[in-house]
Structure 1
């Protein structure tokens, strides 16, 4: 799927937030039924809901001729096997996070988030107007899949801990649920990373199988009940300046679709991508206040922890790049985009936000 196709459909996706402004599919169009397996439980309504919104939009745009049934994690395959199910045609597509699959290749991390990389708007800009989708889909092609953005959580929190983290030494030996390459960086700081699907985090924390866990942010973390089993809530989530979710499609199945159906699917993904971020931006401010009222202790990561993590992350990227040319190619492109992006952010975005935060504090 080409970047320009997504850009064209993104405009349609914006219009579709109030109504699907697409011509009706001709009555002669074939009936197509797909299955989409999600990596997420239904209880995470914002993330899981993005796939449902995509499915609903496709059906509306095709007069019900193209139906995509969405299945929650575990209904067809476990959440962390969604990509495999798409590759082997158990399903035609999935809604997942590419960094769940860094075990296949570290390059998968770049499609969702890696530590100290792009923020939310920079990620969407890199996907759509940088080289992001082109570079990533060239990589995904060898796995028999293609990807379109499937939502974004925005900036994330830095996890729940049973004890305070005052220095890097406090991380030694902690068993922490953390996904993607953030876990590899944490391992360099002495953490023992654990990869668990969202629905498995609460019981693991409750039983003491793990000592800490990161998930997304206030709204989802509150729904998972993590505040009940860990007191300290850290920020920022330096391993995920944002998290881009992904729709993966089996390439062979995608190529079978009529052109009009592919256009409808692309527009539907654009709508879901836009909607998820807006939803989190509306919900997280309310949820963080609710968590604090429930006794949650907010803590900022100490600078020495952030500095150690930053150094460890870039050391890891150098190690991977020396052995993995595909990772190196995409990471080098991301770095240029990130550095240019923050040059602009420093001039306007950060200064405006910084002033407004201080003005609010002054009342």
Structure 2
């Protein structure tokens, strides 16, 4: 089944009208034109493409009756003000990462990722089947927003460093471009977090204004050339075991949609959520090979760094839970599922992956022979 037919069928199937052709669907619904502001520039084509995918799927399934125009960061509002623009009605929707708004409340981060949280598969399972989507929307609805997951980067890399990190002691006094809850955790182990826009990271590293910076992963990082000024490339990005991108929709605009359009938009976001992860899984291996061939030096974070940041993260979450009634029930639900998810993962998934990765390291995969 092609994507267009799938989306059309999914959108109207609940109403018992899955046999409707697109023109009939378009004729039976209002013609709507929305604006969607992205938090990302077009140069980050995979993440920016998440919003474009949502708009494309909706437009195709309705033959243009429901038309969403996507605007890059800065075209309507700066990228980090996307959710504000939706809240105040400047635009009907945005495509963003909810953790950008932890200044409003740490609870916002739970719709994106928290350090040492769930991985991509765990996050999707919790959102769609573990009650996470409903709990988050109870919180976001109170902010005048409807929340729909619409993309994922998977586990990110752990940042670029000008000097090698061999122990926790080497982290002391570093100036690192990192923000949000991860920045607060880094601060607890002696790092000074800095908030710097993406376009300013390279010159800051080159001048030595900062010692390290985190971005996303190989495909996006390669474009920015960090390996030329900070060659040590660390993993894993423990602060982003996944990164769920999402659409925020103005609550009044959402409430004004027909049930058919609501279902269609939710289905389009769900498709974009799957598509982005698949695209990163395809592009990152090639980009990583290219980075290494150009001088990037892969390094794993030392165990004492991981343990110290893990302990600091749990202490931070305990502190937030004791003072923030919005955070606690959502966080508790997520962590309860995390324990179940990683229990299951290590039984079959991790065992299979470890075996196959050992074969890859030994040069025994079919493509290596």
TM range (shorter): over 0.9
- In 2, Cα distance between equivalents of 1:323 and 1:144: 23
Partner of 1:175: 175
Shift of 1:111: 0.9
Structure 1 residue 53 displacement after superposition? 0.8
* Residues 288-347 of structure 1: per-residue CA shift (max 9 Å, x gap): 000000000111000000000111100111111111121111111111100011111111
Bigger relative contact order, structure 1 or 2, given CA contacts below 8 A and separation 6+? Answer: 1
Measured in 1, the distance between the counterparts of 2:239 and 2:296 equals: 22
Question: Are positions 1:187 and 2:187 aligned together?
Answer: yes
Quote the Cα distance in structure 2 between the aligned partners of 1:18 and 1:183.
Answer: 44
Aligned residue pair count = 350
CA distance in 2, matches of 1:210, 1:36: 34
Equivalence for 1:9: none
Q: CA deviation at 1:34?
A: 0.7
Residue 175 of structure 1 contacts residue 194 of structure 1 at CA under 8 Å; is this kept in 2?
yes
* 2:274 paired with 1:287: no
Cα offset, 1:124, TM superposition: 0.4
* In structure 1, C-alpha distance between the alignment counterparts of 2:5 and 2:181, rounded to whole Å: 37
Q: Secondary structure at the match of 1:233?
A: strand
Structure 1: gaps spanning 5 or more residues: 1-13
**2:30 aligns to what?**
30
Q: Deviation at 1:199?
A: 3.7
Hey, what does 2:262 align to over in structure 1?
262
> Structure 1 residue 87: deviation in Å?
0.5
Deviation of 1:26 (Å): 3.6
Counterpart position of 2:17: none
Q: Deviations over 1:181-239 (max 9, x none)?
A: 11111111111112334344334333433221111110011122222221110001111
Q: Is the 8 A contact 1:36 1:92 kept in 2?
A: yes
- Correspondence 1:46-125 to 2 at 5 A: 46-125=46-125
Taking only aligned residues, the RMSD between alpha carbons, in angstroms, comes to 1.6
For the pair 1:253 / 2:253, whether they are aligned, the reply is: yes
> Over residues 130-166 of structure 1, what are the superposed CA-to-partner deviations in whole Å (9 max), with x where a residue is unaligned?
0110111111112100101010001111001111111
> Is the 1:171–1:191 Cα contact (8 Å) retained in structure 2?
yes
Residue of structure 2 equivalent to 1:16: 3
TM-score (norm 2): 0.91
1:62–1:264: 8 Å Cα contact kept in structure 2?
Answer: no
Once superposed, which parts of structure 1, at least 4 consecutive aligned residues long, lie more than 6 Å away?
none
Asked whether the equivalents of residues 41 and 199 of structure 1 are also in contact (C-alpha less than 8 Å), the reply is no
1:356 equivalent in alignment to 2:343 = no
Give the greater-gyration-radius structure (CA): 2
Stretch deviating more after TM superposition (259-268 or 87-96): 259-268
Deviates more, 1:88-97 or 1:23-32: 23-32
Aligned equivalent of 1:164: 164
Q: Which runs of 5+ in 2 are unaligned?
A: 10-19, 364-369
TM-score by length of structure 1 reads: 0.93
CA positional deviation for 1:174: 1.7
Deviation at 1:119, TM superposition (A): 0.8
Task: Give the conservation status (yes or no) of the 8 Å contact 2:7–2:268.
Answer: no
CA distance in 1, matches of 2:5, 2:355: 33
- The aligned counterpart of 2:244 is 244
